[in-house]
Structure 1
Amino acid sequence: MSGAEWHARVECAGEVAGAGFLVAPGTVLTCAHVALDRGPLTVSFPQRPGSPAVPARVVAHGDWAGGPADPGDLAVLELAEEVAIAPAALAPAVTAHGERKLVAYGFPAGWDEGTLAEYRTTGPVLVGGEWIQLEAWSGYGQPLVAGFSGAAVTLVETGEVVGMVTAAAGAKGVLSGRMMPTDVIERHWPGLAGLVPASGSAPAARRRLRGLVEQAVRAGLDCDPVRLYSDAAGELDPPPPPEGFDSLWSAAWFVQGELDDPETATRFADRLESLLATPAVHRSTARPDWAPILIELGHSGAGEDLVRVEVSAYSGGRRHPVASDTVPHTRLRACVQDGIEAAFCRLTPGAEELIAFVLPRDWLDWPVDRWESDAEDDTPLGLALPVVVTDHVRRRARTRHALTRAWNRLDSRTGASVHRVACGRPGQPSELRLALLESEHCLAGFATAPDAARTSEHFKTSLTAPAPVIVWSRRGCGEPDGCGDDCPGTAFLDELDAHVSRIPPAELPRTVLTLRRKAEAKDGHWARDIQLLWDDPRCFTDPHEEVAHLRSPVARSAPRPAVQHAQLPLGDARFTVA
């Protein structure tokens, strides 16, 4: 799965105590003040919804003396059973300095599934030889508060872990904190040795191997990791473990963390790349080489008039964040235009551009395809380029996994089979879910807009089933109880079925672009207000997608009781354990 599932939530006696991160299939790191002397421990992984919590115990710690200013605030947790999750990739803390955006994933009160905080380092100097000071990336972001202790601090570009949150500013309005860098963690726990690359090692080689493994997993590559390792191993390398490797990921971690010869990892990557380059007879070669520009819009939390905007470009198998801002609605279109212009500089030459808007569910009907292309060109964006939308909630790792499986099956399809959701008698949502899960239908076509009362639950079902493609008209059928043979919604579905029945699902963004252009030239054309929700996770190849995307889908729940915070002095400011 492509999400960073190694983010962990640590609970003590049933109460959320803080965060942690998986560094081996059975090992999680967190802060000592989170885990020591706090009662029975369990660890869960929110990026894998529905997975049970795993009992854990402290097997090592950093000799923390218990005071808020004492060094060694580290606890090593051993899980009662190993989890089939790729551990976090670690990086030397020196890579975090400069204008590098860092992200921490914590569990403050009211955010049981977690929330993100964006920070940067204030410099390379270690405070007290133990900590690196953090400051907020912006003045309006999520502060480091109770629930962030033990959270991995990651580079937003790569998802690599450079440290662990240990403390937060206690003063109101002060957005700063501290992290224990990876080299200090290694000093306190030698078991991390070998997992943190030396600052002089080549990060490009690590990222290359990680990217190739991600690509192989997404492509469903049929590969025996034991045979792959044996082929790459040198004369002095050990044999594979007696139990073998349970995944390609575990083999990759083995060659990077357990072996002394870096050339073995290079050979391993070379052989994997060669396997990926070999054409697979069961996969279609006609799938467009989309180069997506991802535009994430969301409620800012700072006021109804403000919108959070994140723009990224995907090229070379990587996600490249290019713009981030919070703007009023009056400046939203201009901000998006600027972000798209900046993203074009990062696209792979020759690839087909795709504009993908990730929207909150209540904004999915926005006419983003009608927004002006730029300040100097009022051509609607959806007439210049393929424009699609998708739902924020579908960024969940579990949903991405299901969608990837669905798209792998759809590669061999020569047409998009439409499941019609009529306006008059749409049936039960449960029937629609079963049809989308068990039938050959890959496209849910709606005769109504998403907020129509009689089909709104059906629309939610299509989003969560999940249907790879959903299409509707923003005009839809406006009759509250449906209508007869002259229903515009029925006419829309008839035309849609006729136009897409022979179009491979991967080509639908291009087809809808053509339809929009035809509709612009003809009054009353059925596709004038067509909206396409099209979501192929294989186009969004960031291996750390769930970390990097600021709008991680989290649900508010009833707030937990306040946690007591120990005070940590630092000059004129005061810090608390987070």
Structure 2
Amino acid sequence: MTSASWHARISCGRDTGAGFLVTERHVVTCAHVVARGATDPVSVSFAHAAGEPVGARVIAHGGWDGRDTDPGDLAVLELDQDVALKPAEFAAPDEAYGDPPRKLLAYGFPKRYEEGTLAEYRATAGQLIAGEWVQLEAWAAHGQPLVPGFSGAAVTLADSGRVVGMVSAAARDPGVRNGRMLPANVMARYWPRLGDLIPTPEYDGPQKERLRLLVEEAARHGELECSPQRLYEEAVTAFGPPPPPHGFASLWDAAWYLLSEVTDTKAAVRFAERLADFVEHTPTRTALRSWPYTHAEAEPGPAARTSPAPGSGTGTRSWSPILVEIAPSGSGDQQFLVEVSAYNGSHRKVVGQRRLPADRVRPYALERIDEAYHALEPGARELLAFVLPRRWLNADVAHWQRSADDDSPLGTFAPLVVMDLERRRSGGLQHKLLQKWRELDTQASARLRRIGCGSVGQDPVKLTIGLRRGADMVGFGAPPRADGTRRLFQATLNAAVPVMLWPRSGCRGGHTHDDCRGAAFLDRLAEHLAGLAPGELPSHIHELRETAYASESPEPHWASDLALLWEDPRCLPDPVGYQHSPVG
């Protein structure tokens, strides 16, 4: 193992140090070994290979600034030509440490050792000094100490010859037999390509290379509205390890830390998915969201990864919702948090979450809805579910133009329902809704309660109590615009009625309305709902909307602006999404 031909001797003017071959054309060494590389020629020779020295130039630098305690003492040399030598192999980051300690070897080129010599050391502990170095101490009280000429030498495992780090410094006092090692995973901070070569749990070299290139591509397409530290915190979730004390210098720094230091191997996937949401370049965004798979690979679908929920083969739980939650951000009346998720059974995939001004909500939501379809199984029954603040429940989301290239209303593209944000976040009302749906599963038909245009004088509290006992669906003859209707609307929401229907426009209530448009709407609604299962209403209303939008009658179809509030918590487990925004 010790005769590996990739051990390199570096000459830069009068300075000599060590290095090691990591690809057929790249050698890694300490930055201080080639500190004069801008003016003095750099050449590389290999300890166990015949041939003349090969010229080289510095192509990457860790940022070392000249002092012993400066971080980033790493340089990458590109050789003038490829060499026919097998590059060094790396060990996993934690293999340098153990109990008993692992014997480590360094192959350096001190004075009078043109052919090189070995030094035996061990790592004191895996604890990083200043977030950068690991302390080395001599394996025995005698033998070769670390002296000038060892800087840049690969530190290898004695039993396998695989690289765990690089010698970066020796003790100033010759009587103190210790030094410092730059661990391989720290080296990859300064030259990300090294991360492709260093073994990490679950992900192989090509997968890491793909993530690295995607992160670089994301940064190349403009300044991103996200913080590497916040992205890291979301990736590790609430109970994950905190970020390192030195923080993250870049997006790749955070990604590499997740790959090399965090035991939860899915954290890197969550990082890639979350980063995707801030990338405007669609191909890069799509590729990040599919990582670690390539387009040619078949990603196992959520149905294959998770067991189906009880009863998921029939009824309402067969829906695969795309959930769009729009909530006030807390930072102003015109700022909203928009989150788009896709569900398959109990598996939820968040495809986007942003804080946005009001005028960007619609285009962002529509774009992410379209992308959410990639997360659904081919045979999934899609359901577009908008969770809206109460004052927005009458919004025309069903009439939104589906995309920039498709003028058709969103409500004709797929079954579409709205839900109340406050009720969605209430544990008590969610529990009552679950109870109501269990009752509906055993009933042959559902009870529709009509609240006509002239009902604004009802007591809201009494209405809430009465509806809890005697209504499965409520139809309103007027939209929740006037104060009286809004109060009855809120009373119905508080009664945990699972289905509510109303016209988005029309009569505002306040007088006797036996023959008004609202009464006619309720008559047609009752006729249409007769005998229909509440769990299948999104599909039936979708067909009704298609009929209404396609009608060629000069008079508006009675259901042309029909709104449907429909909520079955069994379709939408885990109401809590991202806990904070990574913007910052």
TM-score for both structures, normalised by structure 2: 0.47
Larger Rg: 2
TM-score using structure 1 length? 0.47
